[in-house]
Structure 1
């Protein structure tokens, strides 16, 4: 009976203890294989738990000013100051949660797939045909769901590069508005008329983000034919006064500047004023600066001179239909019969 177990130690021990031949010959299947399968499952769950814990810690660390390198954008666009670093925007938290969710799903699928293949191998399945069939099915699904894969990959890179987030004002081509939700496949944008656009990430060719980093206020004011230096001086004083106001002082990233004559037209010169501001305050400061500049020109009496300079040169030039053509008298004289005057 001991020869039936050959060199199997476990079989020999079970045979010696029980004296049952079939139990001894099946000892490996009854005792070892279940333990190996349970061990594979336990180790897979432990690895999954450890990886999920590491991913959660990376995502939660975005609530602090120091952000882990893994969750940073691939290209930093704006340098964050100490004051800005104390406030972590909502979009960063949502972005970190989205990346963490993707990583957790990927880790779970990878770990359990490997564990399932190991378990099937323990039961004696030939994994080579199974892997070949899975590869063929994967290729077929890839060809049939090209747009879905394209959307998912584009959404993943959009999150990694931090192209835009919830609350940003973006221009994605046909739709321009505020981003309401960001996903791996779909981005929703609500435009100025309240229409909610569902845009596939794979179809977004270019994105103009109007809320990221800083913005530039550019105001062009025509001054006609008045003295440009005087107008520039008045406008520069008004712009600096707006930047010094307490409610707008923190919204200007740089001192506003009146750069001077931007272009010359038939109506006179055009003066340009620029100001570097925060992205959120740019629309408001555009109107505030424009109103302050026009009020300053009115107070200095330049607006009246601008209107007079526009009307003056035109009124001095008679219309073309009132100007008699040269040699008109001679031509009329020639047209009369006999050349009589």
Structure 2
């Protein structure tokens, strides 16, 4: 055997290297036998790692789906430990609100599970290939910092959406005011909140840009009814009619379905040279129903004032006339 042939001859199998011995027996080639660890053992190990990671990920995702599934109108298991401020007045929107909230939180957990499982699998594969993980982890940390600085707004929107979901600040069906836009919430995501205002305009608001939220659909609402009368009107008579009509309306349908407490007449709210005397009354109602109650009470009260001959205020400089 020449020196050239000896230079290509692989070393003998190490003790305990079963794959090397098996390949050596099957092929009789020392080079293939000594390379069996790279040609057979490591690829099989990497495939097993990937298969195990996919199995773990699938089981975890199915478990999350089961925890976020709402069946028979019940609260999803994932939401039971969390606060829920959704008003019962939302009716059929309640299930949609819960479903979307659970689905969004579940998607966050699924993403976290996928990153953790495949991240660990990737590290195990690198370790199996003999790669030094210390520089890789250091580079990943630097890259993460760079991405964090470059995508600050996205991270801010995402984190704001997560906390908003966990705290249930608002949801589908709520009437909210977020500053630049207000309306009924149609969809809630981790980055964007979609709402529609009274004019039908759809607003897409980034969660990270929401500094404060005014929610008109939690707990209860207050219907504030201001009724103007002229200077020549009898304030005592007008106040008595206001209380009587409001109490009657609150005790009968359809207003009674939304009223939580009896109406309270506060009396004279303000006196204006152009609007005359303004009487104010408040009613505690179901959340989101204050505007409907206000319109109904205002129509009944104005009709009662007209029947009683209560004077209305001056309009555009013309003297008050009999209402």
Aligned-residue CA RMSD (Å): 3.3
Which of 45, 60, 63 lines up with 1:51 in the alignment? Answer: 60
Q: Which has the higher contact order (CA 8 A, sep 6+)?
A: 2
Q: Distance in 1 between matches of 2:204 and 2:49?
A: 43
- 4+ residue stretches of structure 1 with deviation over 6 A? 83-87, 266-269
Question: Which residue of structure 2 lines up, in the alignment, with residue 114 of structure 1?
Answer: 120
Q: Distance in 2 between matches of 1:216 and 1:171?
A: 16
Between 1:223-232 and 1:148-157, the stretch displaced more is 223-232
- Give the SS at the match of 1:246: coil
Residues 135-181 of structure 1: CA distance to partner in whole angstroms, max 9, x if unpaired?
Answer: 11111111111112111111222222222233433222122233343
Mapped pair 1:42 → 2:51: yes
Q: Distance in 2 between matches of 1:12 and 1:291?
A: 94
**Could you tell me whether the CA contact under 8 Å between 1:240 and 1:255 is conserved in 2?**
no
User: Mind listing any 5+ residue stretches in structure 1 that lack a counterpart?
Assistant: 308-341
Which of 252, 255, 279 lines up with 1:248 in the alignment? Answer: 255
Question: Which residue of structure 2 lines up, in the alignment, with residue 7 of structure 1?
Answer: 15
Within a 5 Å distance, the mapping from 1:1-341 to structure 2 comes to 4-8=12-16, 10=18, 14=22, 17-18=25-26, 20-61=29-70, 64-68=73-77, 70-71=78-79, 74-77=82-85, 88-222=94-228, 230-252=237-259, 254-263=260-269, 265=271, 270-301=278-309, 303-304=310-311
**Could you tell me whether the CA contact under 8 Å between 1:232 and 1:260 is conserved in 2?**
no
Q: CA deviation at 1:207?
A: 1.5
Q: CA deviation at 1:286?
A: 0.6
Larger Rg, first or second structure (1 or 2): 1
Higher helix share: 1
**TM-score relative to the length of structure 1:** 0.74
Between 1:220-229 and 1:207-216, the stretch displaced more is 220-229
Aligned residues: 300
Q: CA deviation at 1:266?
A: 7.1
CA separation of 1:257 and 1:190: change in aligned 2, threshold 3 A: closer
